[in-house]
Structure formats: C-alpha cells, structure tokens
C-alpha cells in the first residue's frame, strides 16, 4: 500500500494533529506501507512526520492560495472561489497544481488522502490515474456556499469521505450526495495525553502572581478561531463570585495564516480589563505541549459558540483525566455524556457555563469522578490504534475494489 497525504498547513491545528496521529499509528500497525506527506508549508507537521519515517515533500502553496481561507469566503469578503482564484494566482497557481500532479505521479499512490477543504479540491484536480481519493473531512462545509459548490462538483472523483463525526457526515451527505461516507471519530495519543506527566506553571506563563491557596484552575484550551468562545469564557469568569476562587486561563495562540479567522488576543485582554477580571484570568499564549497545560488545570473548558465538528480538546482533556465542560452541539455532543464523563452546556450560554464551573469548583469529588470516567472513555474510544485500524480497512477496501 502506498498512501499520499496532502495538507495545506504545516502547523499543528486539530486537523493536522489528527493527521500526525494517524501517520504514527499507521506506521506502527502497517510498517510495510509506504507513507508520503505533501505539505503546503514548512512547520511542525512535516518535521514530525519526517521523524516518524514518512517521506515528506514540501510544495509551498503560493501566498494567494495559502491566504484564501473559507472564513473570507463565508464572510463574502472575497467573491472568488478556489478555482478562479487558482487561475487568478496566475502561472504560479497553475504551476503549483502541475507540480502537485507530478509529485503524485512519481509516488504512484494507491490512495491520496486529503486534509482540509483546500486540499480536497486541489487533490481532486491533481489526482493521478489509478489513485483513489479519500477526503478526511474535519469541518462543516454546508455553511460555506462556494466551497460546497466546489466539493459537490468534484465529489464524483472522491472514493471515500472519512467524516470525524456523525454530525459532519450528515453535512457532507447533504452537500455532496452519494459520496461513500465513513464516520471515524478522531483519536489521541494516550501516552502523551495522560494524567501523569509534567504540568506547566500557568501563572508564570501568563505573567500573573501565583494563584491563591485553594484556587481552582479553569482553562479554555483552544486555537484562536473566532467561534471557540473566548469572549463567552471571559464573560463567564466575570459572572463567578470571587468566593468561588476560580482562576481562569486562556491557553493558546494564533497559528493559522488565513486572515480574518482568528480572534485577536489584544482585544481579549481589553475585554478582561473591561470586565474587571484581568487579575483573575491569565493568557498563556501558544503552548507547544497542551497535555502539560491540561494537567495544570482542574477543569478544562470547551466553549465553542457554534456546533463543533468534533472538538479534539474534549478527547485530549478526558485522556488527561481532567473534569471537562463541553459546549455540546454538533460532533462534540457525540463525545460526552452529561454528568457521567463531562458536564454539557449549550453553546454560548454564559449562565449555564458559569453554573457548571461553579458546581465543579465547589466539588472536588465530582471533578475526580468525571476525570476518571473521562480517562476510561478515552482509553476505550479514543485510542489512535483504533483510528489506524478503521482507516487502514478503508484503504484496503479501496485498493481491492
């Protein structure tokens, strides 16, 4: 089996993290398979893939393509769809596509596995003869009018759409019609995301004085995506009584180059000032080792304001044995059982989130119980060996069929 993976980004956001875990798990389960990664940018993804023994091909996306994200398309700020913009990127865009096709032809893969909408489209356009196209769908496409149209038009070239949740699968089915769909929940590295291991000094990182004795540490761990609920989190902390002795942390920093899709940390700091909680909330900035940040927290909050396609942070925090509060809509709702392995709240609901956090802040036994149940669920359901087995089976079926 030869598989070529395509990623536009070289950074490690959720979708790339999952790709890297899939590569690691496939390496282990199928040592004889030849794995290639074509990356559109330098960064930790291609570096770590190389360390795993994956053959890495760097094909830097032209700036015009790299910057053109769906956030712009959705916001109607750009009237260009990907194809015209490829042409608009002129000879560079077309040349890039030709080079992608040439690399793929040289590899001669059985399967071309694409990550992210841009690569679903570009991979479909550059697919070499004899290769099967697999879209690994990490986000909802239905709300993105232009991207939906593109994928719909190219769906005939796709042999399998791996969807990270049932919720994403429904969306893909509605947009793309009869593409063969497989729901494969994400997985995490259970050794890295484990209750035992080093914990970060969050106060030092955030430049805050040490939290008072007995403080309960509650953190939103997320990329800086505009819908990850940073403002909701800050407003929630502002609602809590000082006596609850909660110290909040916003863990994360900007990573994606797509303009307009990330919140500005400066603005969030100003909001914290306005809300009068600047001394109760720390901003750690980007952390390379999220597990160590989670281990330093008593409660990990997921506060997305829109239905979350999956919510990797929920699985990671469970694997670290933390008490989790999740914004339960979309795929995220498939991951939690309210009161059993996490607390679930409706997206954007500050009052409900404040209620859940106060409850956990005042009840160490509940935190411990949810944390233990979370770890057990992660071991049972989010092991990356399961991910590799499911994806491997799909490749085999395609190669044989």
Tokens of 280: 């109760």
Strand, coil or helix: 382: coil
CA distance 18 to 13: 9
Cα radius of gyration rounded to whole Å, the chain: 21
Determine contact, residues 211/203, Cβ cutoff 8 Å. Answer: yes
The distance of closest approach from Cβ of residue 131 to ligand GLC in the complex, given in angstroms and rounded to an integer, is 23
Q: In the complex, what is the shortest distance from the CB of residue 18 to ligand GLC, in angstroms, rounded to a whole number?
A: 5
Least separation, in Å, of the C-beta of 309 and ligand GLC?
Answer: 4
Residue 160 CB, shortest distance to ligand GLC, in Å, is 16
CA–CA gap between residue 90 and residue 77 (Å, rounded):
20
**CB of residue 120 vs ligand GLC: minimum separation in angstroms?**
13
Residues in contact with ligand GLC by CB under 6 A are 13-15, 18, 138-139, 164, 186, 308-312
Chain residue at closest Cβ approach to ligand GLC = 14
Closest CA to 309 of 169, 189, 174, 187: 169
Contact predicate 38/57, CB 8 Å: yes
Shortest distance in whole angstroms from residue 185 CB to ligand GLC? 9
Q: Looking at the DSSP assignment, which residues form a beta bridge with residue 133?
A: 112, 158
Interatomic CA distance for residues 137 and 117, integer angstroms: 8
Distance CA 136, CA 26 (A): 15
Residue 170's SS3 state is: helix
């Amino acid at each position: 089996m030869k598989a070529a993976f395509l990623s536009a980004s070289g950074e490690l956001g959720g979708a790339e993290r999952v790709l890297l875990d899939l590569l690691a798990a496939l390496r282990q389960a199928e040592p004889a398979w030849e794995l290639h990664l074509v990356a559109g940018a330098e960064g930790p993804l291609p570096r770590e893939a190389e360390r795993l023994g994956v053959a890495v091909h760097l094909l830097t996306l032209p700036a015009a393509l790299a910057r053109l994200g769906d956030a712009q398309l959705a916001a109607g700020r750009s009237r260009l769809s990907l194809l015209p913009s490829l042409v608009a990127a002129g000879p560079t865009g077309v040349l890039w596509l030709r080079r992608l096709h040439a690399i793929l032809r040289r590899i001669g893969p059985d399967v071309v596995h694409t990550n992210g909408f841009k690569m679903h489209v570009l991979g479909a356009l550059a697919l070499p003869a004899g290769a099967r196209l697999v879209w690994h769908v990490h986000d909802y496409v239905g709300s993105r009018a232009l991207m939906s149209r593109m994928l719909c038009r190219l769906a005939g070239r796709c042999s399998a759409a791996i969807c990270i949740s049932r919720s994403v699968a429904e969306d893909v089915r509605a947009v793309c019609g009869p593409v063969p769909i497989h729901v494969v929940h994400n997985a995490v590295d259970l050794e890295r995301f484990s209750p035992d291991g080093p914990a970060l000094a969050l106060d030092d990182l955030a430049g805050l004085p040490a939290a008072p004795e007995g403080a309960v540490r509650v953190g939103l761990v997320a990329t800086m995506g505009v819908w990850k609920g940073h403002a909701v989190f800050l407003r929630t902390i502002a609602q809590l009584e000082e006596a609850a002795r909660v110290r909040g942390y916003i863990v994360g920093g900007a990573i994606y180059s797509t303009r307009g899709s990330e919140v500005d940390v400066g603005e969030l700091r100003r909001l914290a000032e306005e809300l009068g909680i600047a001394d109760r909330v720390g901003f750690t900035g980007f952390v390379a080792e999220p597990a160590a940040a989670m281990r330093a927290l008593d409660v990990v909050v997921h506060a997305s304001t829109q239905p979350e396609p999956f919510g990797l942070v929920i699985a990671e925090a469970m694997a670290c044995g933390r008490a989790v509060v999740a914004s339960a809509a979309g795929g995220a709702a498939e991951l939690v059982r309210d009161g059993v392995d996490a607390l679930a709240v409706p997206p954007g609901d500050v009052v409900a989130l404040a209620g859940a956090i106060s409850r956990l802040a005042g009840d160490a036994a509940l935190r411990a119980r949810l944390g233990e149940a979370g770890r057990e669920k992660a071991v049972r359901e989010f092991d990356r060996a399961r991910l590799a087995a499911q994806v491997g089976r799909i490749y085999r079926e395609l190669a044989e069929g």
